[in-house]
Structure formats: C-alpha cells, structure tokens
Amino acid sequence: MKRMLKAFLLISVLLMGSSLGFADEPATVGVTIDATATIPTFVRFTLGDWSAMINPGLGVPGVQYSSSPSLNFSHSTGYMDGSWKLLSATAEPDQENVYIPSNTLTAAIVANCKYTYYITGSSLTYQGDPEATSLPIEFMYEIDGTKSDTKSLNGEHEILTNDAPGRKEITHRFRVPYSLEYLAGTYKGQVTFKVVVM
C-alpha cells in the first residue's frame, strides 16, 4: 500500500511539473505585418507681407496669398557707413564708404523637410542710359542671432541649408553705394528669394 502511495505521489509531481512547463511556454499563433506611414512634405515661405505654401508630396502647387514686397533704397531713412551703422540724415557722395540702405526684409521658412534657401540678383541698371555704370548691391543677413559677412549680390547665393524640421527666420539687409562713380537717377533690377526642397 505504501509503495502504491509513493508511486501515486511521484506520478502526481511529474504531471504537475509537466503542466507547469506548458504554462511557461503556451502555444501561440500570429502574424507579423508591415506598417507604412507617409508624411507629406510641407513648406511655408514668408517674405515680408508675401506668403506661399507648397506641398510637393501631394502635388499641391505654391499659392501666393498677398502681393510681393519690394526693395526700396532711399536716403529718406538716412545713410550708413561700411559697418552698416546709420549716419546722419545728410551725406555727400565724395565721402568714403557711404551707402544708401533699403528696407529690411524678414524671411520665415516653416518646413518638415530638407531644403536650401537661396537669393539671386545682380547690379541695378541705370534707367535712361544703358551705357551708364550699373549700381552694385551689397547685402548681409542674420540667422539665429548670427550675422553674415557683407557680400556682393552678383549671382546666386546659398543662404541656408536646413536638415531638420522646424521654423527658421532670416533677416536680410541691403545697401547700394552713394559715391561719385554712379550717376544720380533711377536704377532698377530684380532680386529672387527661393526655397528648394531637397
């Protein structure tokens, strides 16, 4: 009888261990599937009172929301020296390093993609005499509190390449020389500001 009881207890222990083993490793059935999300490209570019938005990911063209700003070089705001510091309201063209500033333009770029920001331009052409000396434009800009060197606007200039999503603000300043090398009168030209999605 005792032997039968021992055998019964041994079998019970073995069955319990086997049962616990199955509990640690349950039978499963399932499937692993691919997950894909597509985030559309978004860029909003603002320059002064002008704003446009593009979404190449969905094929949406840029839309202009207001009239384009302009660069106006006028002595009415005073003159400046070679260090971009304003001088008195009067100056003479035979002084050294005297410039006429334009209005300041602020560009804002909001994007969730990689892009490069450029400005392109050249000297202004004298109106009324195509043989007259053209008027060069100099510019500088500020991004995140860091100011650039003074540059001549003579072609395409890369201002910013950005790899991270977010907002960037760029302050642009422009000036033209006031000297005896250039005739009094009106000069005209164009400056292009553009964002290229990479």
**pLDDT for 38:** 86
Hey, what's the torsion of the CAs at 175, 176, 179, 184, to 10 degrees? -130
pLDDT in tens, 105-152: 999 999 999 999 999 999 999 998 878 899 999 999 999 999 999 999
Choice between 172 and 54, residue whose per-residue pLDDT is larger: 172
Q: How far is CA 27 from the centre of its chain?
A: 54
Burial of 5 (0-12, 13-18, 19+ CB in 10 A): exposed
CATH number of 43-197: 2.60.40
Which band of pLDDT confidence, cut at 50, 70 and 90, is reported for residue 58?
low
Q: What is the pLDDT of residue 23?
A: 56
pLDDT for the residue numbered 5: 45
Token code pair at residue 181: 């090398």
What average pLDDT does the structure give for the chain?
85
User: Is 68's pLDDT higher than 90?
Assistant: no
> What percent of the chain lies above the pLDDT cut of 70?
82
Task: Assess whether pLDDT exceeds 50 at residue 176.
Answer: yes
Tokens coding 149: 């060197």
| Confidence grade of residue 12 (pLDDT, cut at 50, 70, 90) | low
* Contacts for 53 with CB less than 8 Å, ≥ 6 apart: 42, 43, 44, 45, 60, 62, 63
List the domain boundaries for the chain: 43-197
